[in-house]
Structure 1
């Protein structure tokens, strides 16, 4: 299994597997927070391709620092030069715009859901190069054992000549990203599972572990709807319902990475009894498990399987669509509260029905408009996830990409991580 240790691009640099980003009109340039190579790399990701002069303005660094860091990033294969724009020759040294190199490196991810692991390979812009799923039996030894045994073959078949920069492992529940541990995942029955310690020696890759809501918040900030924003809330509605808060361009972890736990947020409506003993808790009311059980009890589907309900909605069944509308209105209550408490630039919702039926976002907007005191324009502030059906795949790799864009020069020592 490969990792990056060489400080320079090897000979025979492979061509990109996806088309280069086409030029676009010059954006309004705002300085990227931070300094050093990470600021240069993030500025190119956000606004590139950029010539060095524009890159200095976008990163907030001096021309000399930009020149030095750009050379370093080119040598690592994180950036590449584009030919100068067509036109008559100009006096002086030609301006060679630089852009993120999507053909040399990749990041790997594993998203652990209730009954399956999604393996993914992403390029440096978050493009999904490969995605595969395998089933598991929920117990931590089984899940981690399956990841250890499946990952080498997945990478040997899918990574090709790309250098793999790291493995991201994400899941729901309470995940301590600093220790690389799943502190608690009630639905899986996990408690204090040392994921990084179990996987790093076998994979020989840097292993980044985090909750899927925080991972998605990072993805939205890097290359999604939150690109250019500094404050964002990510709301994830699946079997686990949780949130992530980004402020100042960084994602809040809180003590022991406990920030964003909204599972027991009271909705103020009757609902099923939660494991905590109360009724009306957010997760117990709107989770995929709860919705599937209600649909089964109502005779709408033949088994309490959320995928069956999603398929019925996909066929346009009015009762199925009605259940999702009701769920989104309940989610809207939680969203309105988060908007009033945090007042972010953007609130992003990852929810399965919105992928198939974006028109249902109107129900969420109406509920937010009716309940929020601060959000006067929910149509602009509350948006669906940027990643559609790729949401779990992108989440899995985003924690590695976030590390790449914040500390790119640490890739030199990745082999010893």
Structure 2
């Protein structure tokens, strides 16, 4: 039976060792903090001297801080002051480029959304990136409260080549070979972390969400684009030219929905938000073919709207089950707006996945961990993942 809630021992697997001792210390405090230095040593298997050296370096960078001693009678010997993530100095900035919206976000070092704003997504790639360049400085200046930026994340769907900094193909947007990193270079004077939203959300779930403490995770993103991300050994796989997880063109039996790839019946075309919204509009459920209208109707309990969202999950379930059977992850996270708007639909998803898979009792199938702020979290996740993996390589820029 698949589990719907994280078991209390989800942190059963060790932290990944990549990223050097400073990264291991920082991730240990994120996962279990506040922690004393001795507890950090046990979690990382580093010597006391190494722990002290790395904590001093991380504190100097404004990433760790010592908490004041707990109230109580004094104890003999040098007090063991707990270490915690320092969220006072730095933020990650990001933008998620979706079909209907651009979502701008600022996150602190614990992955908490400090601010987010969204604008309608209009025009071609050049128009969109001009909008990002124009809006981002003001957004950061208004909302960052003087904290420095660790970097800029840019996240979207489709085939995203993270190493080249290029959106190779995004069918619903009509983008092909767009050099996003080059076009946004200099907007914050910091590195631009371009990533697909599935891989970005997988990183966020491993750091702050349902995958916290796990090393084997699959993220399935279902929006206007459908794709997956695979994490093994705590590392999110990109594959050759960053194409791992491209499942949007799996065939859906019985579907005749035309796809941008030229075929019909592809998963992405069949369950895309725009497709489902058109169905709802054609049935007279909503006054315009807008997915947000359908979500609001379903959240209010409308049975026909709920039926359409259930149908979407039913069509998605075989792909989710295939990912479980092929990859055997500890955690499968399905990021889909209907599950956020109507959390009880997770039960329907579980039932449908069970029809198609032979999952183990310890495997967790769940919705995304970040609620309505999921796109803001995705936008910034690559920046934060880089900070936790390679903290000694950080450069920062003052916001505003």
> Which TM bucket (shorter chain)?
over 0.9
Q: Closer, same or farther in 2 for the Cα pair 1:339/1:261, shift >3 Å? A: same
SS at match of 1:208: strand
Is residue 62 of structure 2 the alignment partner of residue 77 of structure 1?
yes
Is residue 339 of structure 2 the alignment partner of residue 392 of structure 1?
no
SS at match of 1:276: coil
Q: Pairwise mapping of residues 346-365 of structure 1 onto structure 2 (< 5 A)?
A: 346-365=331-350
Match of 1:21 in 2: none
Is residue 35 of structure 2 the alignment partner of residue 54 of structure 1?
no
Match of 1:68 in 2: 53
SS at match of 1:56: helix
Structure 1 spans left out of the alignment, 5+ residues: 1-24
1:372 aligned residue (357, 377, 386): 357
In the aligned structure 2, how far is the partner of 1:28 from the partner of 1:116?
35
Q: Closer, same or farther in 2 for the Cα pair 1:157/1:218, shift >3 Å? A: same
Q: Closer, same or farther in 2 for the Cα pair 1:26/1:174, shift >3 Å? A: closer
In the aligned structure 2, how far is the partner of 1:404 from the partner of 1:293?
41
SS at match of 1:170: strand
Q: Deviations over 1:199-221 (max 9, x none)?
A: 12233121110001100000000
Match of 2:366 in 1: 383
Q: Deviations over 1:367-397 (max 9, x none)?
A: 1111102x1448x511010001000000001
Q: Is the 8 A contact 1:235 1:348 kept in 2?
A: yes
Q: Closer, same or farther in 2 for the Cα pair 1:412/1:311, shift >3 Å? A: closer
**Larger RCO of the pair (alpha carbons < 8 Å, separation 6+):** 2
Match of 1:403 in 2: 386
Q: Is the 8 A contact 1:33 1:59 kept in 2?
A: no
Match of 2:80 in 1: 95
Match of 2:138 in 1: 153
Q: Is the 8 A contact 1:233 1:244 kept in 2?
A: yes
1:29 deviation in Å?
8.1
1:359 deviation in Å?
1.0
Is residue 186 of structure 2 the alignment partner of residue 201 of structure 1?
yes
Moved more, 359-368 or 392-401: 359-368
Match of 2:3 in 1: none
1:266 deviation in Å?
1.6
Q: Is the 8 A contact 1:31 1:60 kept in 2?
A: no
SS at match of 2:286: coil
In the aligned structure 1, how far is the partner of 2:12 from the partner of 2:324?
27
Q: Is the 8 A contact 1:219 1:398 kept in 2?
A: yes
1:273 deviation in Å?
2.6
Is residue 77 of structure 2 the alignment partner of residue 131 of structure 1?
no
Q: Pairwise mapping of residues 238-253 of structure 1 onto structure 2 (< 5 A)?
A: 238-253=223-238
1:320 aligned residue (294, 305, 308): 305
TM-score, length-scaled by structure 2? 0.93
Q: Is the 8 A contact 2:220 2:227 kept in 1?
A: yes
In the aligned structure 2, how far is the partner of 1:371 from the partner of 1:169?
35
Q: Pairwise mapping of residues 279-290 of structure 1 onto structure 2 (< 5 A)?
A: 279-290=264-275
TM-score, length-scaled by structure 1? 0.89
Match of 2:5 in 1: none
Q: Pairwise mapping of residues 123-272 of structure 1 onto structure 2 (< 5 A)?
A: 123-272=108-257
Match of 2:320 in 1: 335
In the aligned structure 2, how far is the partner of 1:339 from the partner of 1:258?
19
Match of 2:25 in 1: 40
In the aligned structure 2, how far is the partner of 1:413 from the partner of 1:272?
47
1:86 deviation in Å?
3.1
